Amino acid sequence: MTETLNFDVTTVTESRIHQFDPNNITFGSLFTDHMLVADYIDGQWQTPKILPFGDISYNPALASLHYGQAIFEGMKAFKNDDDEVLMFRPQDNWQRFNISAERMCMAQVPEEIFIGGLEELLRLDAAWVPKGEDNSLYLRPFMISSDVYLGVRPSQNYRFMIIMSPAGQYYSTPPKVKVETEFIRAAPGGVGYAKCAGNYASSLYPAKLAQEQGYTQLLWTDAIEHKYFEESGTMNVMFVIDGKLVTPAVSSTILKGVTRDSLIKLAQSMGIEVEERRVSVEEVISGISNGTVTEVFGAGTAVVVSPFAAIGYEGEDYVLPAITEQSLSSKLKKALNDVRTGKVEDTFGWVWKVNA
Ligand code: COI
């Protein structure tokens, strides 16, 4: 439980839960009954409002629409066997959100609004938290600048919101990813470590070009030499090399993923050696060919653990071995899901139970 705050709550007169089919979920397309809206005006957070989910109106001169002060988080909630609602590592996401806010010159969001707001919403919309393998309720806290002003300066007013959407498996088949050696996601000194909207906007064009060539997503390389892996699509990337879990060390160009960190800690607890370091394209491409690289996978809140089928590099596809239950990525995914859904004891202090 976090410090309590009064929320101004208006509930729906009729739930839309009948629209929700847990066996047929398309990511990010259906939203729960309620949302949270908190405004930061004249240096003060106003009483957060919980409202029926719906459209909001905005002034065409809203600063965020023009200059992109917009950040977000991706989180998930689950139900345990007793139907209690569990959030996964919400404090880590709250802290990262405020790191993003600082980089984008935005207001800091207090814990009682960020985590308290999530708890309040989850209590109201608990019925929307699905059970079942790969299912969860995806939580999307976000913040935009809300000055009505076209001068370029940090906004003085902000709007923080939370919306929630049932989620199933993100990719239906293992992605085929292309090593990107022309476009970049992030450069040193830029905003790569911040979860800001612009990072996703600028990734769309190179991803579209790769999709036209038959790939699902990109494997981003460093901005300077295009020699070292950074991330993949909207997720961190991990490799199994000689039986060790290897992943690019976080830096100013790489998002400090909560799933990434959880998988590292779970692997270590299983006695698997973990290396956080630079991983070169050459090491991975030759490793696939000589059998030392056995798995490559994306790690993120939305995708969880997403093993890649093949890696495209310089016009050639390097096919990865098929994933089995014995693969490290399968074991890590299971271990993560077991903790998140309360199936095993949480020895890490990651699970946050939402009191009914
Ligand atoms: C997440 O994993 O939460 C992400 O940020 C990916 C999202 C952009 C779909």
For residue 136, how far is its CA from the centre of ligand 1 (angstroms)? Answer: 14
For residue 25, how far is its CA from the centre of ligand 1 (angstroms)? Answer: 16
List pLDDT tens digits, range 129-182. Answer: 999 889 999 999 999 999 999 999 999 999 999 999 999 999 889 999 999 999
- Evaluate: CB of 302 within 6 angstroms of ligand 1: yes
Residue 356 has what pLDDT? 84
- The residue among 169, 190, 206 that closes a domain is 169
Residues 57 and 82 in one domain: yes
351 lies in some domain? no
Token pair for 219: 């494997």
pLDDT of residue 3 exceeding 70, the answer is no
353 lies in some domain? no
Taking the C-alpha atoms of residue 300 and residue 235, their distance in angstroms, rounded to an integer, is 5
Of 276, 188, 170, the closest CA to residue 233 belongs to 170
2 lies in some domain? no
- Evaluate: CB of 165 within 6 angstroms of ligand 1: no
- CATH number, residue 93: 3.30.470.10
Residue 2 has what pLDDT? 57
- CATH number, residue 279: 3.20.10.10
Q: Write out the residue range of the structural domain in which residue 149 sits.
A: 8-169
Q: Whose CA is nearest to atom 3 of ligand 1?
A: 74
Residues 281 and 159 in one domain: no
Q: Whose CA is nearest to atom 8 of ligand 1?
A: 234
Q: Can you tell me which atom of ligand 1 is nearest the CA of 302?
A: 2
Question: 3-class DSSP state for residue 262?
Answer: helix
Q: Can you tell me which atom of ligand 1 is nearest the CA of 301?
A: 2
Residues 156 and 219 in one domain: no
- Evaluate: CB of 301 within 6 angstroms of ligand 1: yes
Instruction: Decide if 31 contacts 142 (C-beta within 8 A).
Output: no
Total domains in the fold of the chain: 2
Token pair for 233: 């699509």
263 lies in some domain? yes
Instruction: Decide if 251 contacts 258 (C-beta within 8 A).
Output: no
Residues 221 and 79 in one domain: no
| Section 3-10 average pLDDT | 86
Q: Can you tell me which atom of ligand 1 is nearest the CA of 140?
A: 3
For residue 289, how far is its CA from the centre of ligand 1 (angstroms)? Answer: 31
For residue 233, how far is its CA from the centre of ligand 1 (angstroms)? Answer: 9
- Evaluate: CB of 141 within 6 angstroms of ligand 1: no
355 lies in some domain? no
Residues 258 and 300 in one domain: yes
Q: Can you tell me which atom of ligand 1 is nearest the CA of 28?
A: 9
Residues above pLDDT 70, as percent of the chain: 99
List pLDDT tens digits, range 178-208. Answer: 999 999 999 999 999 999 999 999 999 999 9
For residue 47, how far is its CA from the centre of ligand 1 (angstroms)? Answer: 28
Residues 317 and 246 in one domain: yes
Substitution candidate for ligand 1 out of 88, 234, 297 with most atoms within 8 A of CB = 234
Residues 137 and 190 in one domain: no
Question: 3-class DSSP state for residue 184?
Answer: coil
Residues 164 and 187 in one domain: no
Instruction: Decide if 176 contacts 310 (C-beta within 8 A).
Output: yes
| CA distances to 123, 232, 243, 285, 304 from 293, in Å | 44, 17, 8, 8, 21
List pLDDT tens digits, range 74-122. Answer: 999 999 999 999 999 999 999 999 999 999 999 999 999 999 999 999 9
- Evaluate: CB of 248 within 6 angstroms of ligand 1: no
Residues 198 and 245 in one domain: yes
- The residue among 146, 169, 192 that closes a domain is 169
- Evaluate: CB of 146 within 6 angstroms of ligand 1: no
Residues 246 and 180 in one domain: yes
- Evaluate: CB of 300 within 6 angstroms of ligand 1: yes
List pLDDT tens digits, range 262-319. Answer: 999 999 999 999 999 999 999 999 999 999 999 999 999 999 999 999 999 999 999 9
Instruction: Decide if 70 contacts 196 (C-beta within 8 A).
Output: yes
Residue 282 has what pLDDT? 98
356 lies in some domain? no
**pTM, rounded to two decimals:** 0.96
- The residue among 114, 145, 169 that closes a domain is 169
352 lies in some domain? no
Burial level of 224, CB count in 10 A (0-12/13-18/19+)? exposed
Residue 5 has what pLDDT? 83
Of 48, 32, 42, the closest CA to residue 167 belongs to 32
For residue 42, how far is its CA from the centre of ligand 1 (angstroms)? Answer: 31
* Mean pLDDT, all residues of the chain: 96
Residue 304 is given by DSSP the state E
301 lies in some domain? yes
Substitution candidate for ligand 1 out of 301, 305, 340 with most atoms within 8 A of CB = 301
Residue 234 has what pLDDT? 92
| Section 328-334 average pLDDT | 98
Residues 27 and 80 in one domain: yes
Residues 77 and 108 in one domain: yes
